[in-house]
Every structure is written in structure tokens, then in C-alpha cells.
Amino acid sequence: MGTAIGVLPGLGPAATIALLLPITFKIPSPLTAVIMLSGIYYGAMYGGSTTSILLNIPGEAASVVTCIDGYEMARQGRAGAALGMAAIGSFFAGTIGILGLQFLAPPLASFALQFGPPEYAALTFLGLLLAVYLSGTSVLKGVITGILGLALSLVGLDSVAGIPRYTLGLLELQGGIDIITVIMGLFGVGEILYNMESTTEVKILTTKIEHIYPTLKDWAASKYAVVRGSFLGFFIGLLPGGGAIIASLVSYAVEKRLSSFPDRFGKGAIEGVAAPESANNSAATSSFIPLLSLGIPGNPAIAMIFAALLIHGVQPSPSLITEHPEVFWGVVASMYIGNAMLLVLNLPLVGIWVQLLKVRYAILAPIICMVCLIGVFSFQSSFFDVWVMLIFGVIGYFMRKLGFESGPLILAFVLGPIFELSIRQSLRLSHGSPEIFFTRPISAALLAVAALVIIGYFSIGTRRKKKGHSPSS
């Protein structure tokens, strides 16, 4: 399912996970539900490369960079090698990511048990800052969407005082706005409305894929790219807001920089496929580490898995590994199996994925819309939620048109309650003094990193202005 979602342009893993949340209600075990949703997430990373290589259209955002060299390889009759290298690189990188998750998450969770409200406030602030900084071309717009996400998370009953806030007097809003409604609206309906503007018909470059296994020469050219991409992607995936998209972009840039023949990039260099595809898979796996060890989701798709855990009564936090070891170790074990299955299934089934691409978007679009509508309705049998989703669909459409990224909004929406509660608890502990954030070592260290990020942004911006570039490019 994840691969199919990755193959089909227009529906990303975050929206798909949101759409499938109602199905997980029927699954009694939270572990099974999370395994299914996680499989969709990293499966989509595998699938996204297929459309990038064959259509020059990324199946999902993390495969944008793969278009550059992947499509060129397809034009040169080497689609099979590109698809094969993407799959094998993804498998290796996914394995690195899982090993990292297995060995890093438990000690990180133990360390995070020392966290109090000031540390959580500082951590969520850093997470939001990184999400904004890494989101897109305009930091101002990223900040605006982050603030909007935080503001929307405040709607409903105040968790401390128990009074309704920002509800416009509507009873239906006293329970707050549902994350599913927001995601389906922004990423589902909003995306469809945006895509309806385009009348371009997509054509598959070739429907006959030959020689799906890379040659020895391909291996020689790309082995270090796979390794570097895997480790780079792993560390970037740990960062909130980092994730697969940034990982693939950075990995491509690094490979081009390190290459002895950088001119080959953009003209069908296999490293240009191997590196970003390895990076995005590794990042997709490592992005589970903040969720399962700290209880902090780092991107919208992980935020949906966060929501799924909550729905099933499992609170993501540093104590998840000790209180629900079956969930953590079950997810790790399933990832090993899923990773191997993706490699075994994807290469032989590439012909089927190609056929899937032939389904016209004209037919897919209303089906996706209906899934969003019925999916949201099914959550609480509420027409009000459906209307709210349509409003967010319109907001999502205009956000796309105006260049506002939805990712920071979703992350801020999810992290908002943690952020607010942590700040209020911290100020209560310190009797109103903000010094508490700077006198506790972990909190101070996290805020120092945040300050470095801000200083780094402005210093890069000043240098670029002197060179004649825009600061946010």
C-alpha cells in the first residue's frame, strides 16, 4: 500500500496515513496499527522513485531530487538500472536506519526521562524552529505557518482551566480541531484543488523495463553514494522538520560536491539516484527515533503515527519503551521484515507499478476526495468535521498558491499542546521567572542550539545578500 501511494502522484504518506486511521480503529492491537501505518510511510519512500524515474514527476516530495538524474537515465534506456539502484540503495539505507533506531532510541529515551517541563519546552521550541527553518524557501512564511499551527492547537477546552477558548462560541469546537481533519484538508482536498488547475497529461517514458539489476560498473560508481546517503539521511531524519525531503536534497548536493566528475550530475549519473533515495529511506526510519524515544514527532507523517498511538491509548513519551516494550520492539522487528519485503517485491513488481501510473488522475482525484470526505465523517460521524475539512482544503489550496508550506503548520499543531503545557508548568515551577529555561543545563543547551540556528540563518543571509543572492534561497 505504501509503495502504491508513493507511486501515485498527488497523495503523500501523511494524507494516506490520515485516511487509513479509521481502519486502524478496528485493529485491537496498537502495535499492529502502528506497524501498518509505519509500513505505509517507508513504503512510500520506495514507491516515490518510480514516478520520478519514469515520469519526471516525484511520486512524493522526498523523491524530487531523483527526477534529475533518474529521468535522464530512463531517457538513455537505463530505467531498469535506476529503479534497481533506487530499491537496493533504499534497502541498505533502511537497514542502517533500523539499526540506528534499535540501538539509539533506548539510551535516548533513558536520557529523556530526566526531562522536565523546561526541557520539553526548549525541545519543542527547537523542533518548531528547525521545522520552520528547513521547511521551504521563505522563513517568514514558515514562521507564519508555525504560529498558525500553534494557534489552531489552542482551540478547544483549556487543559488547565477547563474553559473553552477561541471556539467562536461553537459547541463543536470545544473538543478542539482534529488533526485528521486538518491533514485531510490541507494535504488531501487542498492538494486535489491545486492539482485541478493543471491540465498537463503525464506520459510514461517507457512501459518496458529491462535489466532491473544494476551492473558492476553501476555498483562501483554508487557504492559510496549509498553509504554516505544512508548516514547523512539518518542524522538529518533525527531532526524535527528535517526528514526525508531535506535528507535527499542534502545528500544529492554532497555527492555532487564530492564527485570527481560533477558535470555528470544532471545527465544520468547513477550516484544522483543512489544517494537521495538512500538518504530519504534512512531519514524516514530515523524519524521514528524522536517519536518513540522522546514523544516528539518530527514531520507530518510521523505526527499521524503519533495520533494513531494516542487513539490506541499509547502515550508517546520517553517511557514508551519501558511501559510498552512490545510496541517499540514490534515496530523495529516489523521494519526489518518490511524492508526486506520491499526489496523483494518492488523490483519484480515494477511492471505493476507502471500500470498503476496509467490510471488517469481525472479518475483518481474524485476518489481521493471521497476518501477524505468519508474518512473524516467516519471518525466521529460528524458533518461539522467534514465542513471544517473543506475549509482547511480551501486554506491548503491558497497556501500552496501563495507559497506557504503546510508541514510547519502540522508539526506546530501537534507539538502545540506539549509546548504550551510545558511553558505554563515551567513558569509555575519558577514562580513566573523565565530564568528556569536558562539555568537548567539540558534546557539551556537546547536553547543554545536554537540560538545558533537563528544566528546561522542571519549570518548566511547577510553573506548571501553581499553576494547578491536572496537570504532565504
Residue from the set 192, 274, 294, 388 that interacts with another protein by CB under 8 A = 192
Q: Does 103 bind another protein (CB under 8 A)?
A: no
Name the residue nearer to another protein (CB basis): 26 or 466: 26
Q: Does 311 bind another protein (CB under 8 A)?
A: no
Q: Does 148 bind another protein (CB under 8 A)?
A: yes
Q: Does 150 bind another protein (CB under 8 A)?
A: yes
Site stretch for another protein (CB under 8 A), options 101-109, 157-165, 260-268, 326-334: 157-165
Q: Does 356 bind another protein (CB under 8 A)?
A: no
Closest CB 211 distance from another protein, rounded Å: 36
Name the residue nearer to another protein (CB basis): 171 or 362: 362
Residue from the set 196, 220, 340, 454 that interacts with another protein by CB under 8 A = 196
Q: Site map for another protein, 210-239, x if CB under 8 A?
A: ------------------------------
Q: Which positions from 407 through 446 interact with another protein, judged by CB under 8 A?
A: 419-420, 423-424, 427-428, 430-433
Closest CB 303 distance from another protein, rounded Å: 19
Q: Does 388 bind another protein (CB under 8 A)?
A: no
Q: Does 464 bind another protein (CB under 8 A)?
A: no
Q: Does 369 bind another protein (CB under 8 A)?
A: yes
Residue from the set 103, 261, 387, 458 that interacts with another protein by CB under 8 A = 387
Closest CB 242 distance from another protein, rounded Å: 23
* Bridge partners for 165 per DSSP: 156
* Bridge partners for 164 per DSSP: 157
Spell out the SS3 assignment of the chain.
CHHHHHHCCCCCHHHHHHHHHHHHCCCCCHHHHHHHHHHHHHHHHHHHHHHHHHHCCCCCHHHCCHHHHHHHHHHCCCHHHHHHHHHHHHHHHHHHHHHHHHHHHHHHHHHHCCCCHHHHHHHHHHHHHHHHHCCCCCHHHHHHHHHHHHHHHCCEECCCCCCEECCCCCHHHCCCCCHHHHHHHHHHHHHHHHHCCCCCCCCCCCCCCCCCCCCHHHHHHHHHHHHHHHHHHHHHHHCCCCHHHHHHHHHHHHHHHHCCCHHHCCCCCCHHHHHHHHHHHHHHHHCHHHHHHHCCCCCHHHHHHHHHHHHCCCCCCCCHHHHCHHHHHHHHHHHHHHHHHHHHHHCCCHHHHHHHCCCCHHHHHHHHHHHHHHHHHHHHCCHHHHHHHHHHHHHHHHHHHHCCCCHHHHHHHHHHHHHHHHHHHHHHHCCCCCCHHHHCHHHHHHHHHHHHHHHHHHHHHHHHHHHCCCCCC
Q: Does 170 bind another protein (CB under 8 A)?
A: no
Name the residue nearer to another protein (CB basis): 90 or 426: 426
Site stretch for another protein (CB under 8 A), options 38-46, 193-201, 213-221, 253-261: 193-201
Residue from the set 28, 169, 171, 197 that interacts with another protein by CB under 8 A = 197
Name the residue nearer to another protein (CB basis): 261 or 387: 387
Residue from the set 111, 158, 460, 470 that interacts with another protein by CB under 8 A = 158
Alpha carbon separation from 248 to 7, 57, 160, 280 (Å, rounded): 17, 15, 42, 5
CB 274, CB 222: distance < 8 Å: yes
Q: Does 171 bind another protein (CB under 8 A)?
A: no
CB 66, CB 248: distance < 8 Å: yes
Q: Does 166 bind another protein (CB under 8 A)?
A: yes
Q: Does 25 bind another protein (CB under 8 A)?
A: yes
**How many residues contact another protein, by CB under 8 A?**
60
Name the residue nearer to another protein (CB basis): 261 or 398: 398
Q: Does 324 bind another protein (CB under 8 A)?
A: no
Q: Does 8 bind another protein (CB under 8 A)?
A: no
Report the C-alpha gap between 80 and 214 in whole angstroms.
Answer: 8
Name the residue nearer to another protein (CB basis): 114 or 462: 462
Closest by Cα among 232, 237, 238, 336 to 283: 237
Residue from the set 220, 258, 394, 452 that interacts with another protein by CB under 8 A = 394
Closest CB 140 distance from another protein, rounded Å: 6
Contacts to another protein by CB under 8 A: 22-23, 25-26, 140-141, 143-144, 147-148, 150-151, 154, 158, 160-161, 163, 165-166, 189, 192-194, 196-197, 360, 362-363, 365-367, 369-371, 373-374, 377-378, 381, 383, 386-387, 390, 393-394, 397-398, 401-402, 404, 419-420, 423-424, 427-428, 430-433
